[in-house]
Amino acid sequence: MRAILAITVAFSHGWGLIVADHRPGDALVGRPFFFLAGFAHPAVMLFFVLSGFWIAKSVASLNARGWSWRVFLSDRWSRLAIVVYPALLIGGLIDAAGLWWLRTPTHLGQTDVWFLPSDLSPALTMKALAGNFVFLQHIAFHPLGSNGPLWSVAFEFWFYIWFAALWLAIRRRRFEPLLLTLALGFVSPMLAYGFLCWLTGVAAYHLRTRSSPRSLVPFGFILGIALIWARMGDWFGEDLILASAAALFVAALAMRDPRFPAILAPIARFGASSSFSLYAIHFPIMTLAAGLIVGPARLAPGMAAIGVVIAVLAGTIAVAHVFSRLTEARTAVLRRWLTAPRGAAQPAE
């Protein structure tokens, strides 16, 4: 599922960067792609649900072994930082080259992409880099350069801390100092609202022990209806409603535990090993590709534009896979180093 969600987000951004906005009279062939390109934000909500599910499991497992904030924070930080930090540095360099060296129309804001800042200069500073390194993008700092999608990763970092602190405070009935970070929710109401959506994944984890449903079809139908409904407009509370529908499906899936189709195994492997890397690095790469391919006006929706978007998406996936081998694949090494005992006696040579 993670691979499909990451590819959905990347496709949506690639389409918006390369293809002109829909206008009456556009070729019919582009309409399905316009529709599919509108699922980027719902895909992020589904990421939140999956994240909440797995973090709830991680917290419960660590507590059973003996809770350690050091182990928990090292585990969560290593999972994010080993991908996000290189993605920030590489993405920042790509954006700087596009803005100040190549001066592409896309980087200069001439293509009127609604989700791309019209002026990237304020977002390409050491201040922005420092703020992004402590996961405060879209909370108190600009996202670095064009890489706006990393807002959700910053949100998740704080969700991990909030949930663990709340869980421990409730279980142990004592104050956890990291509860003070909840104050960020007052700085960013979107962060607080996102946490409610994320908690539906936690609920899904706790629902998984109930009796198994006879079929996944009703839950898939509910999720499908919620996705289409969310795609058709900007509704009050739609993120929480969509997340709740997704959580029901995830809980039912965990109860049923169906056998995974062998034909989809390559997609599952990519999701497990490279989907986070694709999410973290895709936007600067696609922005540069768009800057080199399109002029001041994005391409008209048609077969040629569709082919360009698919080619750029495929190339970005390939780059992300290589990037993941150098970063995401080494998460366990960084985690072991962070959690290894310090000051242990060294054997004599």
Q: Which residues, in sequence order, are bridge partners of residue 299?
A: 19
Q: Is-contact 44 9, C-beta < 8 A?
A: yes
Is residue 342 predicted with pLDDT exceeding 70?
Answer: no
Instruction: Give ∠ CA 195-201-206 in degrees, rounded to 5.
Output: 125
H or E segment at 109? none
DSSP state of 137: B
Instruction: Give the CA distances from residue 10 to residues 196, 215, 252, in Å, rounded to whole numbers and listed in that order.
Output: 25, 31, 28
Q: How far apart (Å, rounded) are the C-alpha atoms in residues 39 and 309? A: 16
Tokens describing residue 41: 């934000």
Segment 250-294, tens digit of pLDDT: 999 998 877 767 777 777 788 888 999 999 999 999 999 999 999
pLDDT score of 210 more than 80: no
Between 340 and 177, the more confident residue is: 177
Provide the token pair at 291: 């800057």
Whether 318 and 46 have beta carbons less than 8 Å apart is answered as no
- What is the per-residue pLDDT for 348? 38
Residue range 19-75, pLDDT digits in tens: 999 988 888 999 999 999 999 999 999 999 999 999 999 999 999 999 999 999 999
CA–CA distance from 291 to each of 14, 96, 322 (Å)? 11, 12, 22
Could you give the percent of the chain with pLDDT greater than 90? 82
pLDDT at 346 (0 to 100): 42
Give residue 341's pLDDT band: very low, low, confident or very high (50, 70, 90). Answer: confident
Radius of gyration of the chain measured on its C-alpha atoms = 21
Count Cβ atoms below 10 Å from residue 149 Cβ, excluding itself. Answer: 23
What is the domain partition of the chain in residue ranges? 2-338
Spatial distance between the Cα atoms of 325 and 319, rounded to a whole number of angstroms: 10
Please tell me the distance from the alpha carbon of residue 343 to that of residue 151, in angstroms, as a whole number.
37
pLDDT in tens, 230-245: 999 888 899 999 999 9
* Structure-token pair, residue 188: 């960013």
Query: d(Cα 43, Cα 5) in Å, to the nearest integer?
Result: 5
249 three-state secondary structure: helix
Torsion of CA 230, 83, 288, 38, to 10 degrees: -10
pLDDT at 179: 97
pLDDT in tens, 308-323: 999 999 999 999 999 9
Q: 136, 78, 115: which is closest to 276 by C-alpha?
A: 78
Identify whether the C-beta of residue 309 lies closer than 8 Å to the C-beta of residue 303: no
| Higher per-residue confidence, 319 vs 345 | 319
Left if phi > 0, otherwise alpha if psi is -120 to 50, otherwise beta: which for 343?
left
Cα 232 from Cα 252, distance rounded (Å): 26
pTM here? 0.93
Residue 270 near residue 328, CB atoms below 8 Å: no
pLDDT tens by residue, 73-128: 999 999 999 999 999 999 999 999 999 999 999 999 999 999 998 899 999 999 99
